[in-house]
């Protein structure tokens, strides 16, 4: 039997997928792009992420409400080592650049 590897990226993806049932979603580990910006960030971990979601759940929500919903959902990850979370959130009828 194969053991599932539980990464921060996978936990973020699973939680977002369950909560928002996205039409499209990307969770991108950008940690390597931040190597050296602080002494403790060498770019090898799971500290910096970009999240892109298109979901019906965001319809009628302001940008601030969307960000709060995602940040509240991921509070454990944010308090447990994720240093930065860039969010690109949209409802299906809204244009995206990705």
Higher pLDDT, 45 or 3: 45
For residue 39, give the CATH number of its domain.
3.30.300.90
Q: pTM (2 decimals)?
A: 0.83
48: closest CA among 9, 90, 10? 9
Residues of the domain holding 62: 8-90
Note whether residue 95 is domain-resident: no
Query: What are the tens digits of pLDDT across the range 42-74?
Result: 545 778 899 999 999 999 999 999 999 999 999
Distance CA 88, CA 92 (A): 13
Note whether residue 85 is domain-resident: yes
Note whether residue 31 is domain-resident: yes
Note whether residue 3 is domain-resident: no
pLDDT at 18 over 50: yes
Q: Are strands 48-54 and 24-29 parallel, antiparallel or unpaired?
A: antiparallel
* Domains identified in the chain, total number: 1
Note whether residue 16 is domain-resident: yes
């Amino acid at each position: 039997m194969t053991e599932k590897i539980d990464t921060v990226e996978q936990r973020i993806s699973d939680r977002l997928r369950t909560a928002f049932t996205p039409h499209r979603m990307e969770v991108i580990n950008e940690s390597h792009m931040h190597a050296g910006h602080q002494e403790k960030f060498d770019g090898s971990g799971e500290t910096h992420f970009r999240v892109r979601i298109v979901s019906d759940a965001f319809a009628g929500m302001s940008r601030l409400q969307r960000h709060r919903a995602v940040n509240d959902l991921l509070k454990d990850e944010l308090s447990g080592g994720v240093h930065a979370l860039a969010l690109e959130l949209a409802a299906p009828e809204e244009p995206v650049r990705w």
